[in-house]
Amino acid sequence: MSPTSGPSAAVLRPATLEARFLTVISHELRTPLTTIASFTESLDTDDLAPDERSLALAAVRRNTERMLTLVDDLMVVTRLQTGDLAINPAAVDLPAVIRAAADRLASREPHTAATVEATAGPPLSGDPALLLDLFYAVLGTVASGAADRSATVRTAAGSGSWTVTVTARQSEELTDEHLMAGMLAIPEPPFRRRSTALWMLLADAIAVRHGGSVRLTFDPAVGAGAEIRLPLGIPPA
């Protein structure tokens, strides 16, 4: 999902999604495993003061929880790819879901915002909860990469699909390195344990499961962003 310079974008295909997932998970596991190994080694000595030992145990617990979250994400993405994850389709008002994602972002990230300019259009068949997660992930990722931490969302309904564009004018290109390093909140509360790379990976998997796609875009005249395409109906698993 590496974007290129100029008005361009890279579409993530299922095979690419699998390869990218392995890369992201390998990167995500490295930090907690290294932390756990380091603190476990220090706990195996008698040199730590009681308060230092408490801090070390807290770090081990925190990073263990982070790895459990990664395992859960692994299962979700894998089951989305294989079609094993149950989809609960309903007639979805897509602009309403996008506005709900922007509201969630505003409530969880007071200094990050997304302005929604949505047009009316036909409902699509999709899983409302998964689509909310998709747009929350994309809006948060694009907005958090901007200098003013804001993004603009626009929608367009075609005869058989929706196209949603998310742009941030004061943003540099969202490279893989940026996504790997980025966190949507510091310090990270429970709902922000994922890095931006993992949030976008989940968004990609949800879009693909709905027969759609997510692609990161970059145009020096416009800024960084993302384009989401979703058909009106969910394809068979």
Which tens digit of pLDDT belongs to each residue from 22-43? 777 777 777 778 888 888 877 7
* Residue boundaries of the structural domains of the chain: 8-231
Within 13 Å, how many C-alpha atoms sit on residue 172's CB side? 5
pLDDT at position 237: 59
SS3 53: helix
Express each pLDDT in 84-131 by its tens digit: 777 888 999 999 999 999 999 998 887 888 999 999 999 999 999 999
| CA dihedral over 147, 191, 234, 176, signed as positive or negative | positive
Domain 8-231 class?
alpha beta
- Identity of the highest mean pLDDT range in 51-55, 177-181, 184-188: 51-55
* Chain mean position to CA 65: 19
CA distance 41 to 56: 10
Torsion, Cα of 227, 180, 221, 155 (10° steps): 20
Residue 114 pLDDT: 93
62-79 pLDDT per residue, tens:
878 777 877 777 777 777
Q: What is the pTM of this model?
A: 0.74
DSSP for 111-169, please give it: T-EEEEE------EEE-HHHHHHHHHHHHHHHHHTBTT-EEEEEEEE-SSEEEEEEEET
Residue 68: predicted pLDDT: 80
pLDDT higher than 60, residue 193: no
